[in-house]
């Protein structure tokens, strides 16, 4: 995957989905989007209301390059070198900024994350949807002012975060999750066929010892009786 990012990646992905036969992986690789996010664009669940941007007219992609990639699913699109140099974007620090038009959807997204990814920490949810710890706590405790009207909604579908960001946070939370005592005990249990075979193997030896002990006792009793008869004679 190349490091260059096309201008307006999501709008470019919308145009490529609507006007080409490229695969989701090819479009995602070119626009730096997750293939599932590209699939969401094709299904109309993501990037609603975004007008497609033609990368050919903007000089970012050659028509011949698209034709070659359509014939070869393993081919990756090559971004044309732009004559305009854009300033480098600074890394974002702090909570994610959420547009005013989307802020009313944040409680629904928080509820979705709490129900579907309970392993996420509050700090991770804050990074994903740009909320506050107090809001998360109120939704957990059902004390939010609009708690009765909240409906769980995918933050990726709402456009509050990307599928890549969500996957990264979920993977990070899974690595930090400790192993439960039940899982630890389960790893030490032996299969039923092993324990059953062990008991069956011991049972014949027990019977053999029992018969051997009875023969020894009778032999001793017989020897003692012979000794008594000899003394009487």
**Total number of domains in the chain:** 2
Mark whether 58 and 112 lie in a shared domain.
Answer: no
In a domain? residue 89: no
CB 162 within 8 A of CB 33: yes
In a domain? residue 29: yes
In a domain? residue 85: no
In a domain? residue 2: no
Angle (nearest 5°) at CA 134 between 131 and 136: 60
pLDDT of residue 112: 93
Range of the domain at 65: 9-71
Q: Of 163, 178, 193, which residue constitutes the final position of a domain?
A: 178
Mark whether 109 and 147 lie in a shared domain.
Answer: yes
pLDDT tens digit sequence for 10-33: 889 999 999 999 999 999 999 988
In a domain? residue 117: yes
pLDDT tens digit sequence for 152-166: 998 888 888 888 888
In a domain? residue 158: yes
Angle between helix axes 106-116 and 122-129 (nearest 10 degrees) is: 140
pLDDT tens digit sequence for 60-104: 888 999 999 999 989 999 888 755 554 554 555 555 555 555 668
In a domain? residue 210: no
For residue 160, give the DSSP letter. Answer: S
In a domain? residue 197: no
């Amino acid at each position: 995957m190349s490091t260059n990012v096309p201008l307006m990646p999501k709008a470019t992905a919308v145009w490529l989905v609507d006007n080409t036969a490229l695969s989701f992986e090819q479009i995602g690789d070119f626009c730096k989007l997750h293939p599932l996010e590209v699939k969401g664009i094709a299904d109309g669940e993501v990037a609603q209301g975004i007008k497609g941007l033609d990368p050919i007219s903007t000089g970012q992609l050659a028509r011949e390059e698209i034709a070659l990639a359509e014939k070869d699913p393993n081919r990756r699109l090559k971004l044309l070198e732009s004559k305009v140099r854009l300033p480098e974007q600074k890394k974002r620090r702090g909570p994610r900024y959420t547009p005013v038009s989307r802020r009313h959807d944040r409680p629904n997204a928080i509820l979705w994350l709490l129900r579907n990814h309970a392993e996420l920490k509050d700090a991770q949810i804050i990074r994903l949807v740009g909320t506050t710890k107090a809001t998360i706590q109120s939704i957990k405790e059902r004390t939010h002012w609009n708690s009765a009207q909240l409906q769980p909604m995918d933050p990726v579908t709402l456009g509050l975060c990307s599928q890549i960001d969500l996957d990264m946070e979920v993977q990070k939370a899974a690595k930090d999750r400790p192993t439960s005592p039940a899982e630890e005990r389960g790893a030490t249990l032996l299969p039923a066929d092993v324990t059953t075979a062990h008991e069956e193997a011991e049972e014949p030896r027990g019977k053999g010892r029992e018969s051997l002990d009875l023969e020894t006792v009778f032999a001793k009793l017989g020897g003692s009786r012979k000794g008594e008869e000899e003394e009487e004679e």
